Amino acid sequence: MKKSLFKFDPEVFEIAVSDLTRQQNYLTLIPSENFASHAVMQAQSTVFANKYAEGYPTARYYNGCDHSDQIEQLAIDRAKALFSAEHVNVQPHSGSQANLAVFHALLSPGDVVLSMKLDHGGHLSHGLPQNFSGKYYDIVHYGLDPETERINLETVSQLAQKHKPNLIIVGASAYPREIDFAPWREIADSVGAYLLGDVAHIAGLIVGGVHPSPVPYCDVVTTTTHKTLRGPRGAIIMCRQELADDIDKSVFPGLQGGPFMHAIAARAVAFKEAAQPEFADYQKQVVTNADALSSRLTRNGFRLVTGGTDNHLMLIDLTSVSEKLSGRQAANYLEDAGIIVNKNTIPFDSRSANTTSGIRIGTPMITSRGMKEKEMVQVADLITETIENRRRPSARQQVKTKVEKLCRSFPIYEGIDQLLWS
Ligand SMILES: *Cc1c(COP(=O)(O)O)cnc(C)c1O
């Protein structure tokens, strides 16, 4: 029982260390990734991982839950303060689970849901045919305006009038522009629909004051805790008090059994971190960096969807490089050069989600490493060098050497040895 991971299971240990090395030596530009603090990681590996605590604070189906009650209540109180939310459920295991819980709480199978098209930036849990959302609900999608590549509220409003949805979802996984939530409330009210704000990507920006909050306008708001919010993997659901019971019952016992108390402990720590002034500085820098990165990429000749970004992410339209270059190819070339991005469809893409004509990049992770505008110019130039010389493997190797040098100057964890084997 006393043997450390290193001693007992060197196989698992080695693989974990290898990924630590990868995270350290590669530039991760995936906008949904970040790295959680040492304190968050520590909280997540506490003995709360051993506890069953089905139910909610002071109303559990198991005994021995005093400390689980304390930790969950702390997480709830901190999340409520952070987002100025009336009610928060901190138990969902992931963002998709959180959305599923909202559907399950507010809708019946067959009800109409109006959400963003997946290949225009929406999420799987907003109606992909293979996903629960697409299987059990009648999904109607709004897309982006072909001229502006932005959401056209006029179109959303018309679709709402026509289809009379029971639920409207605002929020996306690949939308580079600010969302003003107020008009969405009006559209939802005009047809008597519930309004769900899914801010999985931008929750950190909202807390940091660099993006408007959906909380005053939406009936329910979901977010993951591991993207810009920089906590452990997981999600929370926020709602108005009158929906609290329905949401809570939908999560447990509706969909989940025992909550992951260790993850909830780590979420509590992340919410405390997010309430610090430094967190707002970080979020400002994420946006400043994204702006710097997008300007330089544009100067280097890439076309960005909507021409730039207001938030933490941007989409490169690779057809501006070559009609032949797909997102999948570009992402693989970049990985070879030490840069991790993900392929992503661009609005009105002629390629499938598996091939794509775009790549999605973002600044949360590299900003957590401490990089600023000056490094964004370097990062943009490294991407450009890789794509321009994509037919020469030696060029990718040269970029990789530069990437590793840059990464060494901005380590992801200090004192990492302790993190893994303390
Ligand atoms: C990431 C994301 C989710 C879901 O996250 P998982 O934790 O991966 O299930 C939900 N909605 C949006 C908009 C997202 O970007």
Structure tokens at 251: 């999560």
Q: pTM of this prediction? A: 0.96
Q: What is the pLDDT of residue 253?
A: 97
Give the tens place of pLDDT for each residue, 72-127. 999 999 999 999 999 999 999 999 999 999 999 999 999 999 999 999 999 999 99
Alpha helices in 221-260 (DSSP H): 244-249
- The answer to whether 160 and 191 have CB atoms below 8 angstroms apart is yes
Please work out whether the CB of residue 95 comes within 6 Å of at least one atom of ligand 1: yes
- The answer to whether 73 and 132 have CB atoms below 8 angstroms apart is no
Give the tens place of pLDDT for each residue, 149-159. 999 999 999 99
User: How far is 222 from 93, CA to CA, in rounded Å?
Assistant: 12
Structure tokens at 271: 């919410």
Among the listed residues 307, 294, 285, the one whose alpha carbon sits nearest the alpha carbon of residue 367: 285
Q: What is the pLDDT of residue 414?
A: 75
Candidate from 97, 99, 115, 123 with most ligand 1 atoms within 8 A of CB, to mutate: 123
Residue nearest to atom 2 of ligand 1 (CA): 200
Contacts with 95 (C-beta within 8 Å, 6 or more apart), sequence order: 123, 125, 198, 200, 222, 223, 224, 235
The question of whether 52 is a catalytic residue gets the answer yes
Please work out whether the CB of residue 172 comes within 6 Å of at least one atom of ligand 1: yes
The question of whether 281 is a catalytic residue gets the answer no
Residue nearest to atom 3 of ligand 1 (CA): 95
Q: What is the pLDDT of residue 153?
A: 97
Structure tokens at 345: 């469809």
Q: What is the pLDDT of residue 415?
A: 62
375 alpha carbon to ligand 1 midpoint, in Å?
28
225 alpha carbon to ligand 1 midpoint, in Å?
10
Cβ neighbours around 14 below 10 Å, total: 10
Residue nearest to atom 8 of ligand 1 (CA): 95
Structure tokens at 333: 């070339």
**β-strand partners of 169:** 196
Q: What is the pLDDT of residue 203?
A: 98
153 alpha carbon to ligand 1 midpoint, in Å?
23
User: How far is 147 from 169, CA to CA, in rounded Å?
Assistant: 23
| Domains of the chain as residue ranges with CATH | 41-274 (3.40.640.10), 285-408 (3.90.1150.10)
Q: What is the pLDDT of residue 1?
A: 55
The question of whether 242 is a catalytic residue gets the answer no
Please work out whether the CB of residue 96 comes within 6 Å of at least one atom of ligand 1: yes
Q: Give 214-217 contacts, CB < 8 A, sequence gap 24+.
A: 214/170, 214/171, 214/179, 214/181, 215/83, 215/84, 215/85, 216/84, 216/181, 217/181, 217/182, 217/184, 217/185
Ligand 1 atom with the shortest distance to the CA of 201 = 15
Please work out whether the CB of residue 344 comes within 6 Å of at least one atom of ligand 1: no
95 alpha carbon to ligand 1 midpoint, in Å?
5
Calculate the dihedral angle through the C-alpha atoms of 251, 34, 14, 409, rounding to the nearest 10 degrees: -170
Ligand 1 atom with the shortest distance to the CA of 96 = 9
231 alpha carbon to ligand 1 midpoint, in Å?
14
Q: Which uninterrupted H or E stretch holds 236?
A: strand 235-239
- The answer to whether 82 and 59 have CB atoms below 8 angstroms apart is no
Q: What is the pLDDT of residue 7?
A: 87
Please work out whether the CB of residue 201 comes within 6 Å of at least one atom of ligand 1: yes
The amino acid present at 104, given as its one-letter code, is: H
DSSP string for 140-169: EEE-B-TTTSSB-HHHHHHHHHHH--SEEE
Structure tokens at 241: 């008090």
Residue nearest to atom 15 of ligand 1 (CA): 173
Structure tokens at 368: 């957590």
The question of whether 278 is a catalytic residue gets the answer no
* Regions of the chain short of the pLDDT cut 50: 422
Residue nearest to atom 1 of ligand 1 (CA): 200
Can you point out the beta strands (E) in 26-183?
A: 27-28, 55-56, 59-60, 87-89, 112-116, 138-142, 167-170
Catalytic residue among 54, 145, 178, 246: 54
Q: Which uninterrupted H or E stretch holds 80?
A: helix 66-83
